[in-house]
Structure 1
Amino acid sequence: MLTKQVYFLSRRTYCSVVNLASDIKNARPFSEIPKISFLKVARGNLPGGKYYKKSMREIQQLFYEEYGSIMTIPPMLGRPQFVITYNPEDFETVFRVEGNWPVRFGIESLSYYRTTKRPEIYGDLGSLFVSHGEKWSQMRSIANPILMQPKTIKRYLTQIDNIAKEFIELMRKIRNEKSEMPGDFSNYINTWSLESVTAVGLERRLNLFDENTKDENAKKLIKGIRDFFEMTVEYDGKASIWKYYQTKGFKELLNVYDTLTDVIMYYIDLAMKEMNEENSSSDTEDSVLRKLLRADKRVAVVVVSDLMLAGVDTTASATLNTLYCLAKNPDKQEILRQELIEILPDKNTKLTPEKIRNLPYLRAVIKESFRTLPIVSGNARMTTKDVVLSGFHVPANTHVGMQPLFAMQDDKFYPNAKQFLPERWLREQTEGCPRAGVSNPFTFLPFGFGARSCIGKRIAELELETLLTNIIRNFKVEWHYPDMKIKSTFVNIPESEMRFKIIDV
């Protein structure tokens, strides 16, 4: 039997190689891919130019309208040549051949900072975001069994639920006479996200909702994370001269990295000190931080730092986007509330793994909000072998940026794409509602794909599901202002004042 399985696997692999070779032979040459010139990019980014002060999302829209489903961007100022594709079939092709050690073009300024400016902390490991090869594989092989197992993360449900319930009380305190949230509600959500991720990553509470807690480090961290996403767009997302000359702005980015490193290390050192002073119980021994520290202290520092760096703004923005979608679609909000009432007849009931497992409409709502208001713009990989993308031969070692935004808004892939329809994600199909992902599942990859998928996925899902459950079970959420505006950096962040109206139910 084993011989047959190996035979069929080998035959399938052989056929794939033969088909790929045949496709390449019949493909159009790489040189014929529509391209934008270096001069046009340079002119477009000058004051008055087509791309001047445009967001990443706006620039991608302009590219898509002018060049179609695939294009190339020339190498410039230390950045490699890039193929940009908006075709989901190309996404699948790239992901299917990425191998065990996928390579992607990442935030190079972060790698530079960690390996050259603070090697005493990070060594030569860099970051899970930007490291590649054996070093990256070493970190993921340690982190994956700890962070990607639902059972490991679900042990934090009680604590995350307590944090969510405290946040509900905070929402009651900060609403005004119109029952609206303050204009800076985004900052409160960021505070909740930081409180939650540190509860998992550092197994400690910061108590940021307590009016008597004056934690300046938390304020520095939240501001630093926002500055990180905004500034790296300029120095990593666009052409920049920092590799040749460090401008004043780039030095400010390095200062941001210093602040983030110092604050995160303060929290990590504090957590380690507390653990050393405690008598370890079997329960605490199972914690994320303890497991990482037992495996490798340097890897623990990198992984926890990355979780805090990448897990605050992203989860906070996803939460705000989902609340906005529900506020704009009160009929869907009411369907969700009825599901929650069935599971939680008493709104003060503690969540359990069994209860949260039985909330399919909640998960459908979150997926649909990810589709309509995606948190990240796309994924990137370097091809490991020659491939054919949109009919063109793309050689190995070519950087490819995959942009699913327009496919997710296309009726061809998502019928009635402009409508917010959580039902499209339900396993049991709703009559008259189109199913999601039938045409091509690679149009929807909010946490990435394969070996380099988001390491914090399980934590983010737990935080999102828990807070949304508590908010919708306690409040009817309304929106009475113009449509929400999005600020597009490496993460798409709500730019509007998030003045939700909340009514007790």
Structure 2
Amino acid sequence: MAAVAKKYFLLQKHLNSSKPCLGIHLYVRSAHKEAKPFQSIPGPVRLPLWGNLLHYKLGVFDVRKYHEVLEHLHKQYGPIVRETIGSRTVVHVFDPDDIKEVYMNEGQTPFVAPLMETAQLYRKQKNLSLGLGNVNGEEWYRLRSAVRHLMLKPQEVQVYFSAVREIAIDFVSHIENILVDGKVENLRDEVSKWAQESAGAICFGRRLGCLNGGEMENVAQKIIAANKEIFQLSGNLKFSLPVYKYFHTPKWKRITEAENFIYRTTEKYVEQTIDEVKTIIEKENRVEEKYQFITHLLSKDTLSRDDIIIIAFSLFTDGLSTTVPALLYNLYCLATNPEVQDKAYAEIELVLKETDTITADVLNKLPYIKAIVKETFRFYPIGTEVSRIIQKDLILSGYHVPKGTHVDLTPNVHLQSEKYFNDARTYLPDRWLRGHENTNYHPYLLTPFGHGTRTCAGRRFAEQDLYIVLFYILQKFKLEYQNNNKSLEQVFETLLFPDGPVDVIFKQRSNNA
């Protein structure tokens, strides 16, 4: 093992050198020759046909606590683990140096396994565009190129700042109006309505009315329920024999009905927006800035109508399963750490002495709010892993992993480890502030939006949403928690959601708070 590591270190040294190394191919062959074979990667006992599936079916491993299963696998088998679900073999990669190795060798068009095979199958059956998360190679590059500048450049995302700010202010008023004894009856659903309203303003250039009562709020609630159904059932089917791919099982029918409702609703919104844009162009020969998202997509010859609908569909709905739990976790962490909350409020007050309206520039003066969001991701990650289909043979933790292998990159098992973080179980946003004594953390440990060219396309929108809404919530309310003796747990439903209600208490601040 030590000999392999030494040779591999020398190999990397020569690879990074500006001078060519005549012996490089010898090092490669030697390193791969001395690596342990793929079949010897440790893992739980696999059975014919079923693989490790019976561990989940018989309750040895709890699907709804899959993140804890991963911690168990790491603890029992080490930094690399092989698992088989039916006919699908997955290599879990836990060591951050191995994770770095995968990222460094993925090239310009990394290959991924879809987050939800059910979503990919649904779109194939309906002859829809598959979207960024369900394609690889040239097809992925075509879609990514069309949205890269629109979604990943901070200055482009800031175009929507005023709309997002207006919606955050309205959301705070909405919370104020529905409080009963300081509590919101179903905080997750109300946060989900905020997420839809904010995403709708970006995707469709108008307010949808998700927070205003009436029919549009009812539609928003139906989308929320359908999205929950999809993620819950898809998480369950991930650990089942894929019978649903060949027969219309009851669970598959429920997923299809839920997908149909969300897709048709989004399609209607997109078509309405396109009609509005065309009317303005025909009458006034101009394009309104609020329609920038759709007009940008329409300007791309490489995108079909179905591509545009799916891209809008993804941005409009993805926040329900990512930004929503992220905000819930942030509110919980603030409510249960009053000293952190007080420091955040002091930062907000300082900013408000200079201006009464926050702008994109003002956000840059809120490093502590941003540190809170980052520390919350450390305590409560949204996903369990990042999947890759490696495109070249690699050596990971001394084992040969061949090209084409599905690897799941899972650094989350270390996020509360003293090996990597001082006071790991203490919620400490200060650790992410510039100048803090312990800021030299492994760069491949906390990557909530992924890494490299397949970084989450909606990252900038999600961050902007979170920073703005937290600003206005903390300005208006002091947060407390009803049951401080019980920690908030997570449950696996394709991604990680709060396991039960998040009973934050919202107390209005006085002027002298």
**Residue identity in the other structure for 2:405:** T
Please give the alpha-carbon distance, in whole angstroms, between the structure 2 residues aligned to 1:14 and 1:191.
61
Question: Unpaired runs of 5+ in structure 1?
Answer: 1-6
The answer (yes or no) to whether the contact 1:174–1:182 under 8 Å persists in 2 is yes
Determine helix, strand or coil for the equivalent of 1:375. coil
The answer (yes or no) to whether the contact 1:319–1:464 under 8 Å persists in 2 is yes
Could you tell me how far 1:280 is from its partner in structure 2? 5.7
Identity fraction in percent? 25
> Is 2:113 the counterpart of 1:105?
yes
**Equivalent residues in 2 for 1:162-181 (5 A)?**
162-177=166-181, 179=182, 181=183
**Residue identity in the other structure for 2:495:** V
The answer (yes or no) to whether the contact 1:157–1:351 under 8 Å persists in 2 is no
Query: Residue 76 of structure 2 aligns with which residue?
Result: 66
**Equivalent residues in 2 for 1:455-466 (5 A)?**
455-466=457-468
CA displacement 1:367-426 (0-9 Å, x = unmatched): 000011111111010111111111111111111011111111111111111011111111
**Residue identity in the other structure for 1:87:** D
The answer (yes or no) to whether the contact 1:73–1:83 under 8 Å persists in 2 is yes
The answer (yes or no) to whether the contact 2:92–2:407 under 8 Å persists in 1 is yes
Query: Residue 294 of structure 2 aligns with which residue?
Result: 289
Please give the alpha-carbon distance, in whole angstroms, between the structure 1 residues aligned to 2:144 and 2:226.
25
> Is 2:491 the counterpart of 1:487?
yes
Query: Residue 310 of structure 2 aligns with which residue?
Result: 302
Q: Please, which of 152, 156, 159 is the counterpart of residue 152 of structure 1?
A: 156
Q: Please, which of 99, 116, 119 is the counterpart of residue 125 of structure 2?
A: 116
Please give the alpha-carbon distance, in whole angstroms, between the structure 2 residues aligned to 1:322 and 1:475.
14
CA displacement 1:184-215 (0-9 Å, x = unmatched): 11110010011111111221111222134544
Query: Residue 4 of structure 1 aligns with which residue?
Result: none
Query: Residue 76 of structure 1 aligns with which residue?
Result: 86
TM-score norm. by structure 1 comes to: 0.90
Please give the alpha-carbon distance, in whole angstroms, between the structure 1 residues aligned to 2:185 and 2:385.
29
Are the structure 2 counterparts of residues 114 and 426 from structure 1 closer, same or farther at C-alpha, using a change threshold of 3 Å?
Answer: same
Could you tell me how far 1:85 is from its partner in structure 2? 1.6
The answer (yes or no) to whether the contact 1:387–1:393 under 8 Å persists in 2 is yes
The answer (yes or no) to whether the contact 2:478–2:508 under 8 Å persists in 1 is yes
Please give the alpha-carbon distance, in whole angstroms, between the structure 2 residues aligned to 1:421 and 1:140.
36
Query: Residue 100 of structure 2 aligns with which residue?
Result: 92
Could you tell me how far 1:322 is from its partner in structure 2? 0.7
Determine helix, strand or coil for the equivalent of 1:223. helix
> Is 2:322 the counterpart of 1:322?
no
**Equivalent residues in 2 for 1:440-479 (5 A)?**
440-479=442-481
Please give the alpha-carbon distance, in whole angstroms, between the structure 2 residues aligned to 1:141 and 1:14.
37
Could you tell me how far 1:43 is from its partner in structure 2? 2.9
Could you tell me how far 1:38 is from its partner in structure 2? 3.4
Are the structure 2 counterparts of residues 409 and 285 from structure 1 closer, same or farther at C-alpha, using a change threshold of 3 Å?
Answer: closer
> Is 2:252 the counterpart of 1:247?
no
The answer (yes or no) to whether the contact 1:409–1:418 under 8 Å persists in 2 is yes
Are the structure 2 counterparts of residues 13 and 132 from structure 1 closer, same or farther at C-alpha, using a change threshold of 3 Å?
Answer: farther
Are the structure 2 counterparts of residues 309 and 20 from structure 1 closer, same or farther at C-alpha, using a change threshold of 3 Å?
Answer: farther
Determine helix, strand or coil for the equivalent of 1:242. helix
Please give the alpha-carbon distance, in whole angstroms, between the structure 2 residues aligned to 1:163 and 1:13.
58
Could you tell me how far 1:64 is from its partner in structure 2? 2.4
Query: Residue 216 of structure 1 aligns with which residue?
Result: 218
Could you tell me how far 1:16 is from its partner in structure 2? 7.4
**Residue identity in the other structure for 1:451:** T
- The CA RMSD measured in Å over matched residues stands at 2.3
Query: Residue 421 of structure 1 aligns with which residue?
Result: 428
Are the structure 2 counterparts of residues 182 and 74 from structure 1 closer, same or farther at C-alpha, using a change threshold of 3 Å?
Answer: same
CA displacement 1:317-364 (0-9 Å, x = unmatched): 1001011111111111111111111112389x3221111121111111
Could you tell me how far 1:225 is from its partner in structure 2? 1.4
Please give the alpha-carbon distance, in whole angstroms, between the structure 2 residues aligned to 1:196 and 1:489.
24
Q: Once structures 1 and 2 are overlaid, which stretch shifts more, 382-391 or 206-215?
A: 206-215
Please give the alpha-carbon distance, in whole angstroms, between the structure 1 residues aligned to 2:416 and 2:267.
41
The answer (yes or no) to whether the contact 2:208–2:216 under 8 Å persists in 1 is no
The answer (yes or no) to whether the contact 2:146–2:297 under 8 Å persists in 1 is yes
The answer (yes or no) to whether the contact 1:38–1:76 under 8 Å persists in 2 is no
Query: Residue 56 of structure 2 aligns with which residue?
Result: 45
Determine helix, strand or coil for the equivalent of 1:220. helix
Please give the alpha-carbon distance, in whole angstroms, between the structure 2 residues aligned to 1:20 and 1:186.
51
The answer (yes or no) to whether the contact 1:285–1:291 under 8 Å persists in 2 is no
Please give the alpha-carbon distance, in whole angstroms, between the structure 2 residues aligned to 1:285 and 1:419.
42
Are the structure 2 counterparts of residues 357 and 45 from structure 1 closer, same or farther at C-alpha, using a change threshold of 3 Å?
Answer: same
Determine helix, strand or coil for the equivalent of 1:397. coil
Question: Unpaired runs of 5+ in structure 2?
Answer: 1-14
Query: Residue 393 of structure 1 aligns with which residue?
Result: 400
**Equivalent residues in 2 for 1:126-205 (5 A)?**
126-177=130-181, 179=182, 181-205=183-207
